[in-house]
C-alpha cells in the first residue's frame, strides 16, 4: 500500500509528489487511489495524530475539491474533483475513528486482522464461554415460556443486563488501551511489539462487538 513518490501533471507534464494541485501550473490533479491516508492529510505517518489538524485539513480539502468550483474546468479537472472528493471523504472517515484508524494502520504494515477475528481471543476465552452459556439458556427458555417460567425469565433478563454492562466496561478498557498504544507510536523503537499489541486490542474489540450484538438480541426477546 505504498504511495507513489512521483506523479506527472496531465496538463504540463511536471513531475511532483502526489498532491491536489500541480505546483507548476496549479491544475487539479487526480490523486492516486491507493495514496496513504496520512500522507493525503499531511500528517506524520503513525496512528498518533492531531485530530484537530485532521479536521481542519479535511474541511480545507473539501472546499478546494468541491465539484461546484470545477464545473467550468476541463473534463480531467471535473473528474479529478469527483474522484478526489470521494477519496478524501473515505480517508477522513477512516482516520477520525480510532478503531478504523487502527485497522488501517495494521493494513499499511501488512498485518490486517483478516479472518482470524472469527477466533476467540485468548484473553477473552473464559468470559466468552460464560456469556455463551447464558445465551444458550436464553434460547432454551424462550420457546418454553409459560406462566410458571416468568420468574426464571426475569432472572435471565437480569443476568443478560449484567453481561451487557460487563461488555461495556470491557470495551471502555480496550478503548483506553487503544489510545495508550497510539500514544507510543513515533516516540521510540519497538514498533513490532506495538503492532502486536494493537492487533490484540482490535481483535478483542471486534469480538466484543459481535458478542454485544448477540446479547442485545437476547435481551430484546426476554
Residues 143-162: pLDDT tens digits? 555 455 677 778 888 999 99
- DSSP one-letter string for 89-126: HHHHHHHHSHHHHHHHHHHHTT---GGGGGSPPGGGHH
**What's the angle, vertex CA 95, arms to CA 117 and CA 78, rounded to 5?**
120
Topology annotation, domain 7-96 = Helix Hairpins (1.10.287)
DSSP type of residue 21: B
Instruction: Give Cα 114 distance to the centre of its chain.
Output: 13
pLDDT of residue 113: 85
Give the alpha-carbon dihedral of 142, 144, 148, 154, to 10 degrees.
Answer: -10
C-alpha 107/C-alpha 206 separation (Å) is: 15
The pLDDT value recorded for residue 29 is 93
Supply the pLDDT for residue 221: 83
Taking residue 16's Cβ as centre, other Cβ atoms within 10 Å add up to 14
Residue with cell 480496550: 174
User: Which residues lie below 8 Å from residue 213, measured CB to CB, with a gap of 6+?
Assistant: none
Domain assignments of the chain as residue spans, ordered by start: 7-96, 114-221
In this predicted structure, what is the pLDDT of residue 195? 93
Q: What is the pLDDT of residue 190?
A: 64
Mean pLDDT over each residue of the chain, to the nearest integer: 89
pLDDT at 1: 47
Residue indicated by cell numbers 479537472 = 77
Q: Report, as ranges of residue numbers, the positions in the chain whose pLDDT lies below 70.
A: 1-4, 115-118, 142-149, 187-190
Provide the pLDDT for residue 139: 83
Amino acid at each position: 500500500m505504498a504511495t507513489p513518490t512521483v506523479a506527472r501533471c496531465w496538463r504540463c507534464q511536471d513531475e511532483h509528489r502526489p498532491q491536489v494541485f500541480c505546483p507548476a501550473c496549479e491544475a487539479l490533479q487526480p490523486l492516486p487511489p491507493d495514496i496513504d491516508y496520512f500522507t493525503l492529510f499531511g500528517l506524520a505517518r503513525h496512528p498518533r495524530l492531531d485530530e484537530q489538524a485532521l479536521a481542519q485539513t479535511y474541511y480545507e480539502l473539501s472546499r478546494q475539491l468541491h465539484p461546484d468550483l470545477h464545473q467550468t474546468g476541463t473534463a480531467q479537472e471535473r473528474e479529478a474533483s469527483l474522484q478526489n472528493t470521494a477519496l478524501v471523504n473515505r480517508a477522513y472517515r477512516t482516520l477520525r475513528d480510532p478503531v478504523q484508524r487502527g485497522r488501517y494502520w495494521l493494513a499499511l504494515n501488512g498485518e490486517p486482522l483478516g479472518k482470524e477475528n472469527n477466533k476467540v481471543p485468548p484473553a477473552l476465552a473464559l468470559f466468552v464461554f460464560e456469556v455463551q452459556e447464558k445465551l444458550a439458556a436464553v434460547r432454551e427458555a424462550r420457546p418454553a415460556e409459560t406462566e410458571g417460567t416468568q420468574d426464571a425469565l426475569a432472572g435471565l433478563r437480569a443476568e443478560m443486563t449484567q453481561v451487557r454492562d460487563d461488555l461495556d466496561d470491557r470495551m471502555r478498557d480496550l478503548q483506553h488501551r487503544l489510545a495508550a498504544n497510539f500514544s507510543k507510536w513515533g516516540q521510540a523503537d519497538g514498533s513490532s511489539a506495538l503492532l502486536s499489541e494493537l492487533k490484540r486490542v482490535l481483535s478483542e474489540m471486534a469480538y466484543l462487538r459481535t458478542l454485544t450484538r448477540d446479547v442485545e438480541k437476547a435481551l430484546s426477546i426476554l
